[in-house]
Amino acid sequence: MAFEEWNSQGGILGHRIEWVAYDTACQFDPAQQAIRQAIEDGLTFVIGPLCSDAAIAAAEEAESAGVLMISPTATHPLVTVTSQGQTRPTIFRASHSYLTQGQATAQFGRKTLAAETAAIISNPADPYARTLANAFAQEFTRQGGEIVYQATYSSGSTDFAEPLTASLESSAALIYLPIPVHVANLLSGQRQILDRSAVSSSPKSEPVLLGSDSWDSPELDDAAASGSYFFTHFALSDSNPLSKTWAEAYRSAYAVEPDALAALGYDAAQLLLTAIQQSGTFDPAAVAKALEQGTFSGVTGTVKFDGHHDPIKPATIIHLEKGQKTVLGP
């Protein structure tokens, strides 16, 4: 969509934009093969991959070849930085990373919800959950809050009565749940049917459930998760006229509602093309400098990049209540 818009206005730097699609299968090895083929084909700009494992593989190859890559949606920290913590000079992302998502969610819980205590339930074997949980805990504590209970579960778990009961007994004001959507459905449903009298004879406030971006899915059980909040990368709101105009054009073009993947993909393309235009060259290193130094308007918010090439932009939180979703921020 972004490419077609630019081409309709004459392309970029006097050239029509052309693109080639490569299949990474959302996996490390196929992505490595795909990026090598793209480089062999003479391409110097890459948008993608979408999945973190694939993006890490592609980032390593792209960095070595001096190719500029912007992943729209890969959230793992090692996409834009090496395992030694060094920023990859030509690798960027359009989405929040695990770290910034966890930090933003903790700030929301502490400042907006005014929660002084929190519990965390997560799967430590899942890098996504582990990184989010750690980032949330560190930021929540830094903001003056207290993590009063942490529980772990393993893949395949279906019974969450024990950690839910312990969370209630800990007097946590909220429970942070960086968990897959199917686990969120199980846990939310069990929370509703949990016998409160078995927890304590004295009444306690029901803790608020606070989810991660994995909750932003049509598979989420809205009824079970009613009253919860969750982080997302994009939601239509009246505060960003650009996103509303874009969404109308998207519906007209594709006859479906745009989701976060569509919005982030569009923003990644716009970031790349705007930086090329601003730098006045197709040299990847010069375009990378333009990205590092610029400020860009996007449908997911106004973007600047930090020292790790992660976007600095507002966080979006969704409040789910009785089947209705309310956008809180940016």
**139 has pLDDT over 50:** yes
Domain boundaries, the chain: 2-96+259-316, 99-232
- First-to-last CA distance in the chain? 24
Closest C-alpha among 275, 264, 271, 273 to residue 17: 273
Instruction: State the pLDDT at residue 202.
Output: 46
**200 has pLDDT over 70:** no
Q: Which architecture, in CATH terms, is 2-96+259-316?
A: 3-Layer(aba) Sandwich (3.40)
Spatial separation of the C-alpha atoms in residues 95 and 114, rounded to whole Å: 26
CA 185 to chain centre: 20
32-41, 54-63, 149-158: least confident range:
149-158
Percent of the chain with pLDDT over 70: 95
Spatial separation of the C-alpha atoms in residues 92 and 112, rounded to whole Å: 30
Instruction: State the pLDDT at residue 329.
Output: 62
Percent of the chain with pLDDT over 90: 82
**204 has pLDDT over 70:** no
3-state secondary structure of 193: helix
Spatial separation of the C-alpha atoms in residues 262 and 66, rounded to whole Å: 27
Q: Is the peptide bond before 49 cis (omega within 30 degrees of 0)?
A: yes
**129 has pLDDT over 90:** yes
| C-beta of residue 293 within 8 angstroms of C-beta of residue 277 | no
CA 17 to chain centre: 28
Q: Which residues contact 173 (CB under 8 A, 6 or more apart)?
A: 113, 115, 116, 117, 118, 205, 207, 208
Q: How far is CA 153 from CA 46, 60, 70, 265, 291, in A?
A: 37, 32, 34, 33, 40
Instruction: State the pLDDT at residue 52.
Output: 94
pLDDT tens column, 69-105: 999 999 999 999 999 999 999 999 999 999 999 999 9
Q: Which residues contact 246 (CB under 8 A, 6 or more apart)?
A: 258, 263, 266, 299
**Are the folds of 2-96+259-316 and 99-232 the same?**
yes
The pLDDT of 51-66, averaged and rounded, is: 96
Instruction: State the pLDDT at residue 195.
Output: 46
**164 has pLDDT over 80:** yes
Query: pTM for this structure?
Result: 0.88
Q: How confident is the model at residue 191 (pLDDT cuts 50, 70, 90)?
A: confident
CATH fit for domain 99-232, picks 3.40.50.2300, 3.30.200.20, 1.25.40.420, 3.40.640.10 = 3.40.50.2300
DSSP assignment of 197-239 equals GGT-SS--PPPEEEE-GGG-STTS-TTTTTT-EEEES----TT
How many residues belong to the chain? 330
pLDDT tens column, 20-54: 999 999 999 999 999 999 999 999 999 999 999 99
**308 has pLDDT over 60:** yes
Instruction: State the pLDDT at residue 58.
Output: 98
The pLDDT of 6-10, averaged and rounded, is: 96
3-state DSSP of 46-114: EECCCCHHHHHHHHHHHHHHCCEEEECCCCCHHHCECCCCCECCCEEECCCCHHHHHHHHHHHHHHHCC
Strands 146-152 and 91-93: unpaired
Closest C-alpha among 164, 157, 230 to residue 191: 164
Instruction: State the pLDDT at residue 317.
Output: 93
